A and B are shown apart, each in its own frame.
Chain A
């Protein structure tokens, strides 16, 4: 059992990890064919992950409803919404419209999901403005630098700002292209080196947390 639970997954990780890292540098048709097959498998596994996600969501909210935990009414709405959408989606064969006529699934998508998602995102503008008023204060030198940079970029990114202060566009572009790019690049390089190190640790079995807990 230990072999199946520990050693076999570690072996699979080691072999596939090294194989696919090497594959990138081998342009032989056999190597390319292996990648094609593997990505096909990945797509299939991706499809199953979707089923797993939906099942997990159903389970989590079913527990909430059964125990009548705080906010269980929302879980009920989620259940009704999800089951309803799945039912009409299957009925319409996943199509929003058939020969120019909108299906019930299309109606749910166009008149419920689209405006609801749009509203959620639009509300952010109001909260950001309120949060900026309350918290964007020059309490320290660093905060003051951040504040000035933000104001310049905000001015430079809209026609009115460029009209009022013509230089703001160029300064904003310089901040984004030079300061922002260099700092982000440094962060990206750091993160990427970390990812490479972590990948090696996983491939060689040093990092094993992905195997989960449980008895040996």
Chain B
């Protein structure tokens, strides 16, 4: 067996080890390379910046723990920004398996920013129906969520004063890891009820949402850990996303080198065989 053949049939555990090391070492010894801000992420940031104080900001945390590494830092950065701007923050989820995580996330950031439940923010929880919930919120928010996650009547929450439906929301961002997610919020929400919409998603989903971005159907997109790192840089509060970028850089480079190597061996083998 030639070298090329042996290299092409390399034990996959060696590849696993390379990827493991490329992830672990930068996390232990961060380099902190500068992160360039994309126009997609700046779109969301600028819109929140432009909102007047006490505007209603709706954040739909449409993911479960499987997508936590990418979307959790996005949610934290967005909430920090919204709280810093003194917006009225209303949060919810369309993913039942993400309810507990979303509750912890919102409570944690609100506590850190010294915000009071009911007055400054609320967590509506989860309601069954997927896209039907979006339409129902567009018609009557209190019908879709008669009570919040803790069981309090939503009509009694001061944070929702003057809010009857999605039409009264200043800005809405869906952080989606699939369906229902950003696309559903556009199709069943923004298109009919005319509110400003931004999106956040996992890295693999981002290319699929570019058509919505380019046509102005969403005014910004935070894609994957990179997007979260850009947002953390914009708000000047670096967190887990920025820390993870070195690991992602190293892993991407390792995969690129592996692909180049595999092609070199492949062509060398082809040449040997004529």
Contact = CB atoms under 8 A, between A and B. Distances in A.
Interface of A: 24, 32, 35-36, 39-40, 42-43, 45-47, 49-50, 96, 106, 109-110, 113-115, 117-118, 120-122, 125-126, 128-130, 132-134, 136-138, 147, 150-151, 154-155, 157-163, 169, 173, 176-177, 180-181, 184-185, 188
Nearest to B103: A96
Question: Most chain-A Cβ atoms within 10 A of its Cβ — which of B36, B130, B224?
Answer: B36
B207 interface: yes
B139 A181 contact: no
A122 B267 CA distance: 32
B211 A114 contact: no
Contacts of A96: 100, 103-104
B128 A118 contact: no
Interface of B: 8, 10, 12, 15-16, 18-20, 23, 33-36, 38, 64-69, 96-97, 100-101, 103-104, 127-130, 132-133, 135-136, 139-140, 143-144, 192, 203, 206-208, 210-211, 213-215, 224, 226, 245-246, 248-256, 258-263, 266-267
B210 A181 contact: yes
A114 B104 CA distance: 12
Contacts of B214: 177, 181, 185
B127 A133 contact: no
29 contacts: A36-B136, A40-B143, A45-B129, A47-B128, A50-B128, A96-B103, A96-B104, A113-B97, A115-B65, A117-B65, A121-B69, A122-B69, A126-B20, A129-B255, A130-B16, A138-B267, A147-B259, A150-B259, A151-B259, A158-B252, A159-B35, A159-B36, A159-B249, A160-B33, A160-B249, A177-B210, A180-B207, A184-B207, A185-B214
A173 B223 CA distance: 12
